[in-house]
Amino acid sequence: MRSPRLLLVAFLCSGFSGAPLDAALTPSRAPSSADDLRIGGLFQATSDGTEGYLSRSVLLGAPGVTHIHEAPADSIPSADLTVIPINLLLRSLPLAPGADGLVLTCSDNWVSFLPLSLVETVHPYLLLKYAGRTPEQGWPRFSVDEGMNPYFSNWSPSLGPKDTSGDPFGEFDATQIVEIRAVNTHDRYAPFYEGALARISPAAGEGRKIFIRECNVCHAGPRGVGGDNGHVSLATLEDTAVLRSEHFKAVVINPKAFYPKTVAPAHDTFTPEMMSQLIAFLTEARQAGVN
């Protein structure tokens, strides 16, 4: 698997840069409600360092909004969904030069990353209405603690093939999205490859890939890159992996056995070699004082 250093650094499709293919969306400089989607980073509209906000009504009026009938997730009933494919959203919300990925930040500190190659091939969507309803009018929930609102992203078989085999960044679906930020992939993941982490062992290098792909949506890496859904710091992960390695393995394989309310998925497909590689990365990061 290629390093993020080599992924998509110069990737800019004609639909993402230059003149937009459809009518441009103009983000407001202040939110009109708690329902607004915050945007920032390397969008043309926010490349000056400001943040912008798009209301649901503005998003519903954007070119590319469509309707599909399916279940947005296994635990949610099928319904008529009003969605906008994210690649079509970007035609009205063009990116600034250098942007080649999107960070989806959620209210529960889950953070997904979408490289633009995935956006263009898988065509993930942003959910705007469920069964004709906005979140305020009532959306179903995954659980007592987890909902879909205010925004939800996923993949639909009616929009594109689900081929994520070349994506090293893990889950791209996300619930409770509050912000989309455009970034440069190399710059975002640079802390994983700088300083002492540029000189780690081959096993630890494979473990770094596993961490980015399997762990980083919930657990922040060096310099805080990634999510913080579990509120477990990199230093704590390092200490547990080194000092309580058998416990670490057991929690990774079946987290609900230890924390019944966690939203962390089971990693019961991890092979012993993968687990050793992940521990090697956390061990060498700890030895280098990276936390």
Domain 37-188 has CATH 3.90.400.10: no
pLDDT score of 12 more than 90: no
Q: Which of 152, 141, 183, 177 is closest to 37 using CA atoms?
A: 177
Q: What is the mean pLDDT of residues 40-61?
A: 96
Q: How confident is the model at residue 22 (pLDDT cuts 50, 70, 90)?
A: low
Q: What residue has token string 């416990």?
A: 247
The mean pLDDT of 15-34, rounded to a whole number, is: 71
Range with the poorest average pLDDT among 6-10, 61-65, 85-89, 264-268: 6-10
Work out the average pLDDT over 142-156: 91
pLDDT above 70 (res 5)? no
Domain ranges of the chain: 37-188, 193-287
Res. 9: pLDDT tops 70? no
- Note the CATH architecture for domain 193-287: Sandwich (2.60)
CB atoms within 10 A of CB 273: 10
pTM, full prediction? 0.88
* The pLDDT of residue 172: 87
Q: Characterise 173 by phi-psi region: left (phi > 0), alpha (psi -120 to 50), beta (else).
A: beta
Question: Would you state the pLDDT for residue 283?
Answer: 98
